C-alpha cells in the first residue's frame, strides 16, 4: 500500500498573491495530517515565490508529521535545511522563470554539486531523495552519489496527449522503479498526478510514496481540503 505525502506549496501561492497572512500554511498542514496523509512536502525556492522560511520552521515545530523539504542545490537553502532537519530533503532542479519544476534533476552532469549536497545532508541525519526523470542512467547515478531515495518525475506521463505517449512514459516509470528497487533505493513518485491518472500508477508496486500537491489543492477549492486529501488517499491506497 503506497503512502501519500501532500505538497502544500500552493496554499502559500494563494497567500502570497496578497502578501497577507491567509490562507495559513500551518493550518493547511494540520488539516492535511488530520485527514490521514503520511506527511507534508514544502518547496523552499530560492526566489521565495510561495513558501517562506517561517512557514518551514513553523510546520516543523508545530505539526507532528514527516516533513519533506524540496530544495535546489543552493548553499543558502542547504543551510536552512541543516537547521530545520526535516525527515528528508528532496533535491530538485530550479529555474526562476519556470511556472513549476520542469523535469528531473540531472545528477549525472551535476554529479559533483549534487554529491556534496547529499553528503552534507546525510551527515546531519537528513534522508536525501533525488527528483529524477525515469532514466536508468539517472537512477544508477543517484545510487552512486549516496541518495537514500529517488522521486520519479511523473510530469511527462501526466501530460501525455495520446494513449501511445502515456504508454511509453508509463513503461519508463515502471522500468526505472524496477531498476531502483534492484539497487535498494527507496522509490517515491510525483508531479502532475491527479484524480484521473493515479489509477494506472498503482500498477507499479515498487513505488512506496506519492508526493501530490496541485491537484489536491485545486480540488480543495470545491470539496474542502480534508475531503480532497481523503479522496486522493483512497486512490493511492
Does the pLDDT of residue 100 top 70, yes or no?
no
Report helix angle 53-62 to 25-34, nearest 10: 40
Q: Is 153 a catalytic residue?
A: no
Q: Is 50 a catalytic residue?
A: no
Q: Which of 50, 70, 94, 151 is catalytic?
A: 70
Return the percentage of the chain with pLDDT > 90, whole number.
88
Alpha-carbon span 193 to 127, nearest angstrom: 24
Does the pLDDT of residue 182 top 70, yes or no?
yes
Q: Which of 10, 50, 191, 209 is catalytic?
A: 191
Q: Which of 10, 43, 50, 153 is catalytic?
A: 43
pLDDT number for residue 169: 97
pTM above 0.85, yes or no: yes
Give the phi and the psi of residue 108 in degrees, each rounded to 5. -85, -55
pLDDT tens for 13-50 read: 999 999 999 999 999 999 999 999 999 999 999 999 89
Which residue in 118, 147, 113, 150 sits closest to 134, CA to CA?
150
Length of the chain: 237
Q: Is 191 a catalytic residue?
A: yes
pLDDT number for residue 102: 66
The full set of domains in the chain, from first to last, is 3-236 (3.20.20.70)
Alpha-carbon span 156 to 104, nearest angstrom: 10
Amino acid at each position: 500500500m503506497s503512502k501519500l505525502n501532500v505538497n502544500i506549496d500552493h496554499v502559500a501561492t494563494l497567500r502570497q498573491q496578497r502578501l497577507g497572512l491567509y490562507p495559513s500554511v500551518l493550518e493547511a498542514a494540520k488539516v492535511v495530517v488530520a485527514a490521514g496523509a503520511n506527511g507534508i512536502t514544502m518547496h523552499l525556492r530560492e526566489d521565495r515565490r510561495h513558501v517562506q522560511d517561517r512557514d518551514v520552521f513553523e510546520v516543523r515545530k508545530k505539526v507532528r508529521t514527516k516533513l519533506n523539504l524540496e530544495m535546489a542545490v543552493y548553499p543558502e537553502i542547504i543551510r536552512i535545511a541543516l537547521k530545520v532537519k526535516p525527515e528528508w530533503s528532496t533535491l530538485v532542479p530550479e529555474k526562476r522563470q519556470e511556472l513549476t519544476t520542469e523535469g528531473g534533476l540531472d545528477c549525472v552532469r551535476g554529479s559533483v554539486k549534487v554529491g556534496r549536497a547529499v553528503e552534507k545532508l546525510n551527515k546531519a541525519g537528513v534522508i536525501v531523495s533525488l527528483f529524477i526523470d525515469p532514466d536508468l542512467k539517472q537512477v544508477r547515478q543517484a545510487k552512486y552519489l549516496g541518495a537514500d531515495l529517488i522521486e520519479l518525475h511523473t510530469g511527462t506521463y501526466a501530460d501525455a496527449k495520446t494513449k501511445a505517449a502515456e504508454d511509453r512514459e508509463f513503461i519508463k516509470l515502471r522500468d526505472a522503479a524496477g531498476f531502483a528497487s534492484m539497487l535498494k533505493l527507496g522509490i517515491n513518485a510525483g508531479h502532475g498526478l491527479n484524480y484521473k491518472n493515479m489509477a494506472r500508477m498503482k500498477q507499479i508496486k515498487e513505488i512506496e510514496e506519492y508526493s501530490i500537491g496541485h491537484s489536491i489543492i485545486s480540488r480543495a477549492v470545491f470539496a474542502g481540503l480534508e475531503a480532497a486529501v481523503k479522496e486522493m488517499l483512497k486512490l493511492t491506497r
